[in-house]
Chain A
Amino acid sequence: MLIVNLAGALLIVLIVWWFWLYKPKAVEQSEAGFSVVVENGNYSPSRIKLKTGEQHALKFLRKDASPCAEMLLIPQFDIAETLIVNQTTTIRLPEMSAGEYEFHCQMKMYKGVLVVE
């Protein structure tokens, strides 16, 4: 029983670490526009590194038919865009100051972060 309880406690620690404490590495944006694939309840990549003081455009390719994937919101910049299934939608970003900006679906189940440095 002790082993079972210890395993349970370990599992809880693992959940806390995996979902809340761990930060995935940000992927840097390449020169020729950046593509984010929306698939299976996820943005991939979900952490995107961008340079400050430049204008960027992100291309979102929605492969996920679930209505949850339909809207892409970047609240700080007042961006709300409808993504069409199996199509690429280009989102133009304004010049951004350094900081982290969330992008997500209407319900915040799909989440991503723009890391501006």
Chain B
Amino acid sequence: MTPSNTKTPQSSIKRHHLLVGGASCASCVGKIEKALNGVSGVTDAQMNLPQSMATVYGNVDESDLIDAIKASGYNATSATEKSDEHVINEKDAADHAYYNKLLRDTAIALGLGVPLMVYGLFIGDMSVTTNAERIAWLIVGVATFAIMATSGRHFYVGGFKSLLSHNANMDTLIMLGTGTAWLYSMLVVLLPDALPLMARHVYFEATAMIIGLINLGLALEVRARGRTSDAIKRLIGLQAKTARVIRDGKELDIAIEDVELNDRIRIRPGEKIPVDGQVDEGTTSIDESMLTGEPMPVEKRIGDSVAAGTINKTGSIIFSATRVGKDTALARIIDMVKHAQNSKPPIGRLADVISAYFVPAIMIIAVVSALLWLNFGPEPTVAFALVSATTILIIACPCALGLATPMSVMVGVGKAAEAGVLIRNGEALQTASKITTMVLDKTGTITLGEPKVTDVVVANAQSETQILQLSASLESGSEHPLAMAIVQSATDKGVEADVVSNFNAITGHGIEGDVNGSRVYLGNERLMKAQGVDISGYITHAQDLAAQAKTPMYLAANSELLGIIAVADPIKEDSVSAIKRLQAKGIRIVMLTGDNRATAEAVAKKVGIGEFFAEVLPQDKTAKVIELQQSGEVVGMTGDGINDAPALARADVGFAIGTGTDVAIESADITLMRGSLHGLADAISVSKATLSNVKQNLFGAFVYNAAGVPIAAGILYPFFGILLSPIIAGAAMALSSLTVVSNANRLRWFKPS
């Protein structure tokens, strides 16, 4: 009977961790456990005194558990780790609520601001001359105050609090800008005689409009920002929620958090792999494209590893969990992407330095501008001074500057992750965009790294099978990669090896041994000559094979040539096209290999690389990288991340090329999860696109502020009589940060060339 027939379906049971305070003695343990077990829904509760940690199983609300502990005289807080998905969902809900609130605030503020502005533009004069006007404007002033206290409350509270803590941000600027406009207008209404007749203008509509427009800008920004984290949401969404584990011969559906190491898990066709593991039973093919970008499903047999988040296609398997929770490849990828998304490339640091001085500097500029108008401006100087100061405070946008880099990096790193390219941090992203020379390791990078028998040439043998069988027999004891390739090829074809006696390895020549009563030799030309074997008719054959980057070996028995068997490490199917893509980007490609010159030359020729260095020892790879760097190149190094670690570390950007999902993501600046070199070209394309997006954003934000502030100050007034309205400034400021976020979002549609 298969386990699936005996299965008793159970709903998933949750595990809660609580940190308990105040428990100091063994008797407390019993008391706490009793209290917890008394909560309905709890199936089991255990208190660990040394760790002050209670573990509770059951479908219960954590707050009920905390209440129960508190009721028994102790303190408790939740220590259950929140899943990434939980965090994302809460964040989305909070963002949505905030978005709605901002829209409400916008509607209220514009509800007053728009009619006032229309009145000022088309109907009447916004100045105070008669007593009736004073009363009317007083009512409007009070209404504006109500808007400031409701829709604009967050600006004032935030601005004031930062002011008190010697900090200044956008809120401070908005508070000062709109506050000044409102105070001045109230002064006009309450004490008109304190001001010259011409200056008795009210600016209530500016205050209301600015609050409305900036709230609208913030609302749109919240929406646009949500989209910048789409990539990470997609990765988090790959995680399965439950797993069907087999414990004590029974199948249980349990929450993913509760899967433990070595749990046996059953996966049926179409299901998601919940944790990393190793296949124990069955064969199947698995779609790993969501992690590696590799579109073809991968065959899995007993002993193969499977990765969390990938999707089982055809077969049914049972596998053992080898990595769970935060240790799965997917969890580590998510973690790495999240970190990289929040790291800043060096290019963003200038904006940080400016941001630190920005707001106080703007305040100083506003004061200076007001003083200039008061001293040298036309009448009414007070009104001009007020408008220019308010407009400066409102138009200056530290947010656009501050958002420029992080938003683009967020989208760019996420985009790369979708293509199976993991970028460690902002610095790697920036440097990758500047690479001039790419050093490629041959084995495992350009080639598959798994030698295979490619050709069998029959001379005097009965068949190809005979050649394969004798070769495999001789090589069966060896662990040399070429030998393993031959043995594997024989196994694949169902050819059985014979017993070998009197085996001998002849250094630099090959091997010999007795098989079925014959003395058999397998090796190079020198071995054949030493044994007096006539190979004259086959030397050109062997040379042809060598020229194709293959390693030919002669097989002879009793001084008679049986044939040639050739082994090669095949070039990855798409290496040629990927290298062409890199070269098209103007990148110089250099190949390094520990292999012999003939093979290196043949591979280089085949993939279109002009520059290569053969017989390079690992330490010499590093020296080669340094040499290139000294000649002024920005060097990228691509290797499998294990043998090439020193060179990867030395290069400006080290690319570790992964094979499937089992990647050592700690080892390099950029990890390519799929084996294809196209990942390399993708990585560089994404980096370039992201960097140019950052530059556009920074440039836009700099230009906006550098042009906006002087115009607001009235620099155009002496020449063209133009002085910006504070309302226009409010709209411009709301638009500027939205533009930055939207431009960053443009990267989402980026397709690598």
Interface positions, chain B 497-533, Cβ under 8 Å from A, are none
Asked if B225 is at the interface (CB within 8 A of a chain A CB), the reply is: yes
Cβ of A29 to closest chain B Cβ, rounded Å: 18
Contact of A42 with B368 at beta-carbon distance under 8 Å, contacts A1-B375, A65-B101 already known: no
Cβ of A77 to closest chain B Cβ, rounded Å: 11
**Once the chains bind, are B360 and A67 in contact (CB under 8 Å)?**
no
Q: Which of B168, B222, B375, B403 contacts A5 (CB 8 A)?
A: B375
Contact of A18 with B342 at beta-carbon distance under 8 Å, contacts A65-B97, A109-B398 already known: no
Q: Considering only CB atoms, which chain B residue lies closest to A80 in the complex?
A: B342
**Once the chains bind, are A8 and B221 in contact (CB under 8 Å)?**
no
Interface positions, chain B 46-72, Cβ under 8 Å from A, are none
| Alpha-carbon distance A82/B169, docked complex (angstroms) | 21
**Once the chains bind, are B371 and A8 in contact (CB under 8 Å)?**
yes
Of A19-27, A48-56, A91-99, the one with at least 4 CB within 8 A of chain B:
A19-27
Asked if B641 is at the interface (CB within 8 A of a chain A CB), the reply is: no
Contact of A19 with B161 at beta-carbon distance under 8 Å, contacts A66-B154, A75-B343 already known: no
**Once the chains bind, are A67 and B225 in contact (CB under 8 Å)?**
yes
**Once the chains bind, are A12 and B101 in contact (CB under 8 Å)?**
no
Asked if A70 is at the interface (CB within 8 A of a chain B CB), the reply is: yes
Give every chain B residue within 8 A of A24 (Cβ-Cβ): 165-166
Asked if B136 is at the interface (CB within 8 A of a chain A CB), the reply is: no
**Once the chains bind, are A85 and B339 in contact (CB under 8 Å)?**
no
**Once the chains bind, are A106 and B161 in contact (CB under 8 Å)?**
no
Give every chain B residue within 8 A of A84 (Cβ-Cβ): 87, 90-91, 94
| Alpha-carbon distance A111/B355, docked complex (angstroms) | 11
Contact of A16 with B98 at beta-carbon distance under 8 Å, contacts A24-B165, A40-B158, A106-B342 already known: no
Asked if B728 is at the interface (CB within 8 A of a chain A CB), the reply is: no
Asked if B274 is at the interface (CB within 8 A of a chain A CB), the reply is: no
**Once the chains bind, are B406 and A41 in contact (CB under 8 Å)?**
no
Q: Considering only CB atoms, which chain B residue lies closest to A87 in the complex?
A: B90
| Alpha-carbon distance A40/B170, docked complex (angstroms) | 11
**Once the chains bind, are B161 and A41 in contact (CB under 8 Å)?**
yes
Give every chain B residue within 8 A of A4 (Cβ-Cβ): 371, 374
Interface positions, chain B 224-259, Cβ under 8 Å from A, are 225
**Once the chains bind, are A109 and B170 in contact (CB under 8 Å)?**
yes
Interface centre among A1, A16, A19, A64 (most CB of B within 10 A): A19
Asked if B559 is at the interface (CB within 8 A of a chain A CB), the reply is: no
Give every chain B residue within 8 A of A18 (Cβ-Cβ): 166, 360
Asked if B603 is at the interface (CB within 8 A of a chain A CB), the reply is: no
**Once the chains bind, are A11 and B360 in contact (CB under 8 Å)?**
no
Asked if B327 is at the interface (CB within 8 A of a chain A CB), the reply is: no
**Once the chains bind, are B342 and A15 in contact (CB under 8 Å)?**
no
Asked if B171 is at the interface (CB within 8 A of a chain A CB), the reply is: yes
**Once the chains bind, are A41 and B403 in contact (CB under 8 Å)?**
no
Q: Which of B94, B159, B368, B399 contacts A65 (CB 8 A)?
A: B94
| Alpha-carbon distance A30/B161, docked complex (angstroms) | 24
Interface size class of B (residues with CB under 8 A): 35 or more
**Once the chains bind, are A16 and B360 in contact (CB under 8 Å)?**
yes
Asked if A44 is at the interface (CB within 8 A of a chain B CB), the reply is: yes
Contact of A12 with B171 at beta-carbon distance under 8 Å, contacts A66-B98, A82-B91, A107-B403 already known: no
Give every chain B residue within 8 A of A75 (Cβ-Cβ): 343-344
Give every chain A residue within 8 A of B171 (Cβ-Cβ): 40-41
Contact of A41 with B159 at beta-carbon distance under 8 Å, contacts A66-B154, A84-B90, A109-B170 already known: yes
**Once the chains bind, are B355 and A107 in contact (CB under 8 Å)?**
yes
| Alpha-carbon distance A20/B374, docked complex (angstroms) | 27
| Alpha-carbon distance A80/B340, docked complex (angstroms) | 9
Asked if A78 is at the interface (CB within 8 A of a chain B CB), the reply is: yes
Contact of A42 with B161 at beta-carbon distance under 8 Å, contacts A11-B367, A65-B94, A67-B98 already known: yes
Give every chain B residue within 8 A of A12 (Cβ-Cβ): 364, 367-368
**Once the chains bind, are B339 and A80 in contact (CB under 8 Å)?**
yes
| Alpha-carbon distance A8/B368, docked complex (angstroms) | 7
**Once the chains bind, are B222 and A67 in contact (CB under 8 Å)?**
yes
Asked if A39 is at the interface (CB within 8 A of a chain B CB), the reply is: yes
**Once the chains bind, are A108 and B355 in contact (CB under 8 Å)?**
yes
Q: Which of A5, A20, A40, A46 contacts B360 (CB 8 A)?
A: A20
Asked if B402 is at the interface (CB within 8 A of a chain A CB), the reply is: yes
Cβ of A61 to closest chain B Cβ, rounded Å: 13
**Once the chains bind, are B98 and A19 in contact (CB under 8 Å)?**
no
Asked if B142 is at the interface (CB within 8 A of a chain A CB), the reply is: no
Give every chain B residue within 8 A of A87 (Cβ-Cβ): 90
Q: Considering only CB atoms, which chain A residue lies closest to B84 in the complex?
A: A82
| Alpha-carbon distance A20/B357, docked complex (angstroms) | 8
Give every chain A residue within 8 A of B338 (Cβ-Cβ): 80, 82
Give every chain A residue within 8 A of B356 (Cβ-Cβ): 108
Interface centre among A15, A22, A87 (most CB of B within 10 A): A15
| Alpha-carbon distance A85/B360, docked complex (angstroms) | 29
Give every chain A residue within 8 A of B352 (Cβ-Cβ): 108
Cβ of B361 to closest chain A Cβ, rounded Å: 9
Interface positions, chain B 334-350, Cβ under 8 Å from A, are 338-339, 341-344
Q: Considering only CB atoms, which chain B residue lies closest to A39 in the complex?
A: B161
Asked if B188 is at the interface (CB within 8 A of a chain A CB), the reply is: no
| Alpha-carbon distance A36/B363, docked complex (angstroms) | 28
| Alpha-carbon distance A68/B170, docked complex (angstroms) | 11
Cβ of B174 to closest chain A Cβ, rounded Å: 11
**Once the chains bind, are B168 and A19 in contact (CB under 8 Å)?**
yes
Asked if A73 is at the interface (CB within 8 A of a chain B CB), the reply is: yes
| Alpha-carbon distance A42/B714, docked complex (angstroms) | 33
Give every chain A residue within 8 A of B169 (Cβ-Cβ): 41, 109-110
**Once the chains bind, are A106 and B90 in contact (CB under 8 Å)?**
no
Q: Considering only CB atoms, which chain B residue lies closest to A41 in the complex?
A: B158
Asked if B95 is at the interface (CB within 8 A of a chain A CB), the reply is: yes
| Alpha-carbon distance A97/B343, docked complex (angstroms) | 22
Asked if A71 is at the interface (CB within 8 A of a chain B CB), the reply is: yes
Asked if B146 is at the interface (CB within 8 A of a chain A CB), the reply is: no
Asked if B157 is at the interface (CB within 8 A of a chain A CB), the reply is: yes
| Alpha-carbon distance A24/B161, docked complex (angstroms) | 14
| Alpha-carbon distance A60/B91, docked complex (angstroms) | 15
**Once the chains bind, are A15 and B162 in contact (CB under 8 Å)?**
no
**Once the chains bind, are A22 and B166 in contact (CB under 8 Å)?**
yes
Asked if B167 is at the interface (CB within 8 A of a chain A CB), the reply is: yes
Give every chain A residue within 8 A of B341 (Cβ-Cβ): 80
Q: Considering only CB atoms, which chain A residue lies closest to B354 in the complex?
A: A108
Residues 169-181 of chain B: 1 if any A CB is under 8 Å from the residue's CB, otherwise 0? 1110000000000
| Alpha-carbon distance A101/B356, docked complex (angstroms) | 15
**Once the chains bind, are A78 and B402 in contact (CB under 8 Å)?**
no
| Alpha-carbon distance A106/B170, docked complex (angstroms) | 14
Q: Considering only CB atoms, which chain B residue lies closest to A23 in the complex?
A: B166
**Once the chains bind, are A107 and B165 in contact (CB under 8 Å)?**
no
**Once the chains bind, are B339 and A67 in contact (CB under 8 Å)?**
no
Q: Which of A19, A41, A67, A86 contacts B221 (CB 8 A)?
A: A67
Asked if B392 is at the interface (CB within 8 A of a chain A CB), the reply is: no
| Alpha-carbon distance A5/B406, docked complex (angstroms) | 41
Asked if B330 is at the interface (CB within 8 A of a chain A CB), the reply is: no
Q: Considering only CB atoms, which chain A residue lies closest to B382 in the complex?
A: A4
Asked if B370 is at the interface (CB within 8 A of a chain A CB), the reply is: yes
| Alpha-carbon distance A75/B348, docked complex (angstroms) | 13
**Once the chains bind, are A65 and B98 in contact (CB under 8 Å)?**
yes
5 A-B pairs with least C-beta separation: A107-B402, A80-B342, A41-B158, A19-B360, A40-B158
Task: Identify 11 new A-B residue pairs, CB closer than 8 A, beyond the known A40-B154, A44-B165, A67-B225.
Answer: A8-B371, A18-B166, A19-B359, A41-B159, A41-B169, A65-B101, A85-B94, A87-B90, A107-B402, A108-B352, A109-B355
10 contacts between A and B (CB under 8 A): A8-B367, A8-B370, A15-B367, A19-B166, A24-B165, A42-B162, A70-B91, A106-B342, A107-B398, A108-B352
